[in-house]
Amino acid sequence: MYLDASFDWKLVNSTKFGNMFLPYADVEMKSILGEWKRFYVRIDTGAPISVFSINDCELLGYEIVNDDPYDMKGALNGEYPSYIHTLDLKIGKKIFQSRIAFPLLRHNMRYLGLLDIFDKFDVSFIKNQKTYFV
C-alpha cells in the first residue's frame, strides 16, 4: 500500500455543539503563472464538487467567469451562481486535474468534494484523528 498523504483533523469550536474534530487536508493548486499555492481545505464527503472562494480564484490569477456556469445548490436549498474551472491539484505528491466550483460570492470556506478526488484516492478516516489518502 502506497501512502500519498495523511492529515490531522482540526479541533474547531462551535457555539452550538462545542468542541469537535473535523477532517482537513492540505491541497495545492497551480496558478495561472504555474506556481503552486497551498490551501487548507475541509473534507466534505457530502459535497459533490470541491468549492473554493472567489478570493481563491483571484489569488490563483484566473478570471472567475468562464464558459462553464453552474448553479450550485446548498444544503438548505440555497442557489449560488458559480463557475467551474478545471485546475491542476496536488495532494501529497500526486498531481491531477480536478473540477473546482467558484461561487460568485465572497466567503472564507473551502470544501474538498467527491468529484475528481475520491475516484483517484482511497480515502480513510480515523475518527477525530487522521485522514489518509492512498
Tens of pLDDT, residues 89-115: 999 999 999 999 999 988 888 999 999
Whether 121 has a pLDDT exceeding 90, the answer reads yes
Estimate the share of the chain in helix, then strand, then coil, as percent rounded to the nearest 5: 5, 50, 45
pLDDT in tens, 48-76: 999 999 999 999 999 998 778 999 887 66
Domain ranges of the chain: 30-133
Candidates 2.130.10.10, 2.40.70.10, 2.40.160.20, 3.40.50.1820; CATH matching 30-133: 2.40.70.10
* pLDDT averaged over every residue in the chain: 93
pTM for the model stands at 0.90
pLDDT at position 106, please? Answer: 84
Q: What is the C-alpha separation between 47 and 3, in angstroms, rounded?
A: 24
Q: Do residues 133 and 91 touch, judged by C-beta distance below 8 A?
A: yes
Q: What is the C-alpha separation between 106 and 29, in angstroms, rounded?
A: 19
Q: Please, what sign has the CA dihedral across residues 33, 100, 103, 8?
A: negative
Q: Please, what sign has the CA dihedral across residues 43, 47, 50, 54?
A: negative
pLDDT at position 67, please? Answer: 75
List the grid coordinates of 27. 491541497
